[in-house]
Amino acid sequence: MVTPAQVFFSYLLLVGLIVGIAALVMMTLARFWPRRPLLGLIALLGFGAFLWGTLALTEPGFRLFVFYFWLFTAAVVGGAIGCVTVRNVFHSALLLILSLVGVAGYFILVNAEFLAMVQVIIYIGGIMVLFLFGIMVSQNIIGTQLKQNTPHSPWAAAAAGVLFIVMFFVGLFMTLTPSVNAVRDPLGSNTASVGWSLMATYVLPFEVASVLLLMAMLGAIILVRKD
Amino acid sequence: MLAMMLQMGTEQAAQPGPLSALAQAWGILFQHWFAYGGDAPMRFFTSVDYHQYFIVSSFIFCLGFYGVAARRNAISMLLALELMLNAVNINMSAFNQYWGLAQTRAAFTSEESVLTNLGQCFSVFAIIVAAAEAAVGLAIIIAFYRMRKSIMLDDANLMKW
C-alpha cells in the first residue's frame, strides 16, 4: 500500500536528484565554481533532499510532521549560521528573520499556536523592524565589507564548539518519561489556555512584565532624547 | 606449555586494566545507539522527539554565544543575543509539549490529568523581556552613536580603567 507521504517523498527524491545533478553539472562546466557559492548550496540541498527522501521512504511509520520539522530546522540553522557569519549587518538581520520564521514553525509543531502568532507579530513585526530601523540609522558607518569580528573570534568559536559538543551528548543521551496520558488544552484552544493561565495563575508576573515594558519604553525615550 | 600460555592469557584478561575500563565506559555511553536494533542514527532523522529539539536549540544557542563573543558591531551582538533567546524559547515550548508537568484537574470535576502550559507562558515572558531588551539596547546604541559616531564596541572604552 502506497501512502500519500510516500508519493510526496518519492517526488521529493526525484526532484532533489535532478536539481543536485543539474547544479553539479553547471558547477563543473562553469570552471569558476568557487565564485558561485549559490550553486554549491543548491547542489548540497538537492543531494540532501535525495538522501533524506531515501531515508524517509525506507522508514515504515513515517509522518509528514517530520518533514516539516527538518524543513524548519533548515530555515533555523541556515538563518542562524548566516546571521553570525555574514559581514553585511542588514543581511544579517534579514537572515535572523528567516531563523525566527523557522522558530514560529517549531511553535506550530509543538502545539503552541499562540506563541507562533506572537513570534510572527511581535518578534518579526516589532523587534526585527526596530533592529532594521537601528541599522538604517547608523548605516553610513557600518559598511558592507568592514571586518566584523574581533581578533579573538577563533577562541569564541572554540568555546562555542566545546559547549555544543557537551550539549549535543547531553541531548542525545537524555531520557525523560514523556507525559502522554495528559489532556492538552482543556479549554479547547491553545490561545484560550495560555490566556487563562496568564490572567489567572501567572497574573503577578504578567503585571510585573507590563511595568518592565513601561520602564523600557520610558528608558528608551530618555536615552535617545536630544538634550 | 601451550596450556600454560593460554591460562596466563585468560588470567591477564580477567583482570581489568585501564584500557578495558575505558572501553567499558564508552560502551555504556554508546549503548543507546543500538537500543532500537542498530538504526538509532537513522531514527534520529526520521522521527522527532525532544532530543531533536534540544540539539537544534543548543546549536542555535552556541551560535548565538559565538556571535555575542566574536562580533565587534553592537547591533550584530544584539542580533546574536536574540538567537540565544530564541533557542531558550524553542526548548521551553518543546519540553512543555513532551514533558509538561501533569497536574490534576482541580478546577474541573473529573480526575484526568492536564498538561500545564507553564513553558508557553514562560516563553511569552521571555519574548516580553526580549522586546524590552531590544528597545533599551538600541536606544543605548543610538546614544553611543551620537556621541562617538561609531557603533563598534572597540570604541566603547570611556569607562575602561
Indicate whether B51 belongs to any domain: yes
Residues of chain A with Cβ-Cβ distance to B135 below 8 Å are 130, 216-217, 219-220
Low-confidence ranges of chain B (pLDDT < 70): 1-43, 101-112, 161
Whether B78 maps to a domain, the answer reads yes
| CA–CA separation, B37 and B49 (whole Å) | 18
Task: State the pLDDT at residue B114.
Answer: 73
The answer for A 117-136 residues in CB contact with B (under 8 A) is 118-119, 122-123, 126-127, 130-131, 133-135
Taking only the tens place, the pLDDT of each residue in A61-76 is: 667 788 888 889 989 9
Q: What is the pTM of this model?
A: 0.78
As a whole number of angstroms, the distance between CA B113 and CA A182 comes to: 5
| Closest by CA position to A101, among listed A58, A134, A71 | A71
Domain that holds residue B146: 44-99+115-150
Q: Determine whether the interchain pair A109/B48 forms a contact, defined as Cβ–Cβ distance below 8 Å.
A: yes
- The answer to whether position B11 is within a domain reads no
- Fold type of domain A68-142: Four Helix Bundle (Hemerythrin (Met), subunit A) (1.20.120)
Q: Across the interface, which of A150, A160, A205 has its CB nearest the CB of B62?
A: A160
The reply to whether B119 falls in a domain is yes
Provide the number of structural domains found in chain B: 1
Joined together, the cell numbers standing for residue B32 give 543507546
Of A115, A148, A186, the CB nearest to B76: A148
Quote the minimal CA–CA distance from A47 to chain B in Å. 15
ipTM: 0.79
CA distance A181 to A75: 32
A16-34 pLDDT, tens digit each: 777 777 776 776 666 555 5
Question: By the CB < 8 Å criterion, does B131 face chain A?
Answer: yes
